[in-house]
Structure 1
Amino acid sequence: MKNLKLKRPSVLSTKKIMDSVESAYKKKNLSQIFVGDTIKVGVFIKEGNKERVQYYQGIILGKNNSGINLTISVRKVFQGIGVERKFLVHSPKLESIEVIKSSRVRRSKLYYLRNIIGKGSRLKQRFRTK
């Protein structure tokens, strides 16, 4: 038998196909968000047959995954109790993500904020240059 070289699909072409499919569902008008930013997320809430936008404001503790699967963990303190929620950034249930304040952090995950209460949980503000 002769040595036959079988053609297998290249990894690059499948990557391009996946990117083209994902790009149709990605949000185009997102501002850059970083860990430590205080953000205001508008989420569509369905009550009965009506739909409205409810805003959730808190600090980004961490970012997970990438591309269309990008999720952010947002923490806020409500009536003295810490509440965390994960959001899929490119989800159609999110109306908007607005950066209110940026903070200077030196870690990729801010899970230590879960244990700190009060003034100790403040982060230094970062001023972005445009």
Structure 2
Amino acid sequence: MKTKELVETLESNYLKKIYDENHPTPKAPLPPLGVGDLVKVGVLIREGEKERIQPYEGTVIAQHKSGMNSTITVRKIFQGVGVERIFMIHSPRIAFIEVLRCSQVRRAKLYYLRDCVGKQTRLKERFNRLDR
């Protein structure tokens, strides 16, 4: 067995284990994510002894799939300034990912939204989820 195959096998076994219901702290199963979706990501924030969940809501502009290291780039406008965050979707610091709206896009990466202002950033909504 080659190294790459071994790593892929170990990653898939680990992912099955953390999403198993019998795990001590099981993660909720991930919804089907896509570029252009409006998502709410719950991030665990530790402040001293306390932990809280901070929601981050924005549009998925990029998705990188590589097993356990899969990431999504989420962009939102906060006080007139564009803010982007990259989330590792299998991280223990991610409490939940909720899809609020699906959009119809024709690109794999929506980096052009960085240059758009105001109503130009709106994306056409997809009503039939089976189109993907």
Name the SS of the counterpart of 1:54 in structure 2: strand
- Relative to 1, partners in 2 of residues 1:82 and 1:12: Cα closer, same or farther, differing over 3 Å? closer
When the two structures are superposed, what TM-score results if normalisation uses the length of structure 1? 0.84
Q: Which ranges in structure 2 are unaligned for 5 or more consecutive residues?
A: 20-26
Measured in 2, the distance between the counterparts of 1:89 and 1:18 equals: 14
* Partner in structure 2 of residue 4 of structure 1: none
Name the SS of the counterpart of 2:95 in structure 1: strand
* Partner in structure 1 of residue 13 of structure 2: 20
Amino acid at match of 1:54: Q
When the two structures are superposed, what TM-score results if normalisation uses the length of structure 2? 0.82
* Partner in structure 2 of residue 63 of structure 1: 63
* Partner in structure 1 of residue 48 of structure 2: 48
Q: How many equivalent pairs are there?
A: 122
Contact 1:25 1:90 in 2 (8 A): no
Contact 1:58 1:76 in 2 (8 A): yes
Measured in 1, the distance between the counterparts of 2:117 and 2:100 equals: 21
Between 1:19-28 and 1:72-81, the stretch displaced more is 19-28
What RMSD over aligned residues (CA atoms) do the two structures have, in Å? 2.1
- Relative to 1, partners in 2 of residues 1:25 and 1:112: Cα closer, same or farther, differing over 3 Å? same
* Partner in structure 1 of residue 92 of structure 2: 92
Look at both structures and tell me which one has the larger radius of gyration over its CA atoms. Answer: 1
Name the SS of the counterpart of 2:90 in structure 1: coil
Name the SS of the counterpart of 2:116 in structure 1: coil
Q: Which ranges in structure 1 are unaligned for 5 or more consecutive residues?
A: 1-8
Cα deviation 1:4-57 (Å, max 9, x = unaligned): xxxxx4679634345324433465611101000000000000111100000000
* Partner in structure 2 of residue 127 of structure 1: 127
Measured in 2, the distance between the counterparts of 1:67 and 1:87 equals: 14
Contact 1:44 1:51 in 2 (8 A): yes
Identity of paired residues, percent? Answer: 47
Name the SS of the counterpart of 2:57 in structure 1: strand
Name the SS of the counterpart of 1:74 in structure 2: strand
Name the SS of the counterpart of 1:91 in structure 2: coil
- Relative to 1, partners in 2 of residues 1:51 and 1:64: Cα closer, same or farther, differing over 3 Å? same
